[in-house]
Amino acid sequence: METTKRHYDSGQTIVIRRDDVEHVESYARDHRDLRDYLLIRLPKKIGLRTHEIATLKIENINFESRSFNVLDSKKKRLYPLPLDMLTLELIQELITDRKEGVVFLHKNWKRKNQGKPLTNVAVWKTIRVIGEAAGVQGFHPRVLRHYFAANWIYVQKKSMESLRRILRHKNLRVTHSYLSRLVFFEDVQREYDEIRAGPFIEQTGHSENSLSPNYQKWCSKCDHEPTCKFIPEFCGSRCAASCKYYMPKEMKILKG
């Protein structure tokens, strides 16, 4: 059936900007209602799967201990997880005085579904529509789960074992593989820029304008500059003739 068709390949690499993820959350907070905002915030903060968002029940949330039990969509059992205070307060505001049932319900605009639990497909489509409205194409719930994982390790510097438990992976190998599927474009761009800047700039941390006259006169105009291993020596006390790429006539033409 069309409604059960997957909109992604779970093994594919996801390339996205960190700022895009933050922008989608900000857009949902400023332009969508509380339910839709929580559909973005919840997986971003604790890495839930789509089915786990759809089946989250009020009676499985402990507001006092700042925790909840999620119905693991793979193991089909309840699993305890922590949750930040602000997200819990927003959930409390969303459910008002309801004491049981799922947290996320259909809105009033479709009377046949009014008050019914959101399906997996509805959660997926809502998050995708919010991402597109925010100007981020190809955005979906799995991006948020991967983002949580990457943020836990690379930004917060927390343990891989704790992440494995939160994501409920059977072993660390799966968690490592999971992390490798998300690529932040900023990281690729930074590494590319480091290569283009050349090893001397990368090692010293100096800008091109602060390098030695030898670099300014010769190396900066050499085709081998981006990958040359001789630049650190050449830009020191040694003369230009010590560089195997030193070609005065050709360099003079380049210099103009």
Rg (CA), the chain: 26
**What's the confidence (pLDDT) of residue 231?**
63
Cα gap 52→168, rounded to integer Å? 12
For residue 113, what are its two tokens? 């579904």
Q: Specify the residue for token string 């990368």.
A: 202
- Rounded-to-10 torsion of CA 60, 65, 67, 69: -30
Cα gap 64→66, rounded to integer Å? 6
Tens of pLDDT, residue by residue over 43-70, are 999 999 999 999 999 999 999 999 999 9
**What's the confidence (pLDDT) of residue 136?**
94
Q: Which amino acid makes up residue 53?
A: I
Domains present along the chain, CATH in parentheses: 2-187 (1.10.443.10), 199-255 (no CATH)
The answer to whether residues 71 and 55 touch, using CB atoms and an 8 Å cutoff, is yes
73, burial (CB in 10 Å: exposed 0-12, middle 13-18, buried 19+): middle
26, burial (CB in 10 Å: exposed 0-12, middle 13-18, buried 19+): middle
For residue 105, what are its two tokens? 């319900």
**What's the confidence (pLDDT) of residue 24?**
97
Closest CA to 196 of 168, 174, 217, 224: 224
- Low pLDDT (below 50) residues in the chain: 1-8, 199-210, 236-239, 251-256
End-to-end Cα separation, the chain, in angstroms: 67
Contacts of 227-235 with CB under 8 Å at 24 or more apart are: 227/195, 227/198, 227/199, 228/198, 228/199, 229/199, 231/198, 231/199, 231/200, 232/199, 232/200, 232/203, 232/204, 235/200, 235/211
**What's the confidence (pLDDT) of residue 120?**
94
Tens of pLDDT, residue by residue over 24-33, are 999 999 999 9
**What's the confidence (pLDDT) of residue 111?**
59
Alpha helix (H) residue ranges in 198-234: 199-204, 213-217, 231-234
The answer to whether residues 83 and 66 touch, using CB atoms and an 8 Å cutoff, is yes
pTM, 2 dp: 0.71
If one counts every other C-beta atom within 10 angstroms of the C-beta of residue 48, the result is: 25
